Homo-oligomer: A and B are copies of this chain.
Amino acid sequence: MLRLSKKTDYALMAMKHLASDPRHRAASAREIAETYDIPVELMAKVLTRLVRSGLLTSHQGIHGGYKLAQPPAATSVAAVIEAIDGPLTMTACTPGDHRCDQFSKCTVRDPLHRIRDRIAAILAECSISEIAADPGPSAPPVTVMPSPVVRRASALSAASREP
């Protein structure tokens, strides 16, 4: 049904989360997972794949976590999808992969592959910064905090540990 896997959704949410943090702190898997009600272990698995693909950097240890490896505008949605789900293919048989039963007789492979390329182009053009530009569900369209004073409570502990 031309559907993205849920892991990819999680990956995009994580990328957006990291891209939206104005201070570019490292965020732990737990932090991200709990923010969006995602199972922690699953989030961790997704994040490590993003690291392996070079989209994130990770740092172990007590104040470790994940950071974007590149500025948000430099990472495309296509890259995220491919990091999680592998190369994006619309059909069972790609040119070169003959595993499909109908490979020899298939008449729609090439036309579909051209369509795939057009879709891939769209996904390659769309960057994480474009995703991040969109306000969240209940998030009001506020880009900057009203005043530095409001950074209390949850923001405090985070702010205090960065010198």
Q: Which residues of A contact B (CB under 8 A)?
A: 1-6, 9, 12-13, 16-17, 35-38, 77, 81, 85-86, 88-92, 101-102, 104-112, 115, 118-119, 122-123, 126, 130-131, 133-134, 136-139
Contacts and interface: CB of A to CB of B under 8 A. Distances in A.
The count of identical subunits is 2
Given A3-B91, A9-B102, A38-B102, 4 more contacts: A36-B105, A105-B137, A115-B122, A115-B123
Contacts of A91: 3-4, 9
Contact of A131 (B77, B108, B133): B108
Contacts of A12: 108, 112
Contacts of A123: 115
A1 B115 contact: no
B105 A130 contact: no
Given A2-B90, A91-B4, A137 B106 contact: yes
- In order of increasing CB-CB distance, the 9 nearest A-B pairs are A107-B136, A1-B85, A111-B134, A111-B131, A12-B108, A36-B105, A4-B90, A2-B88, A118-B122
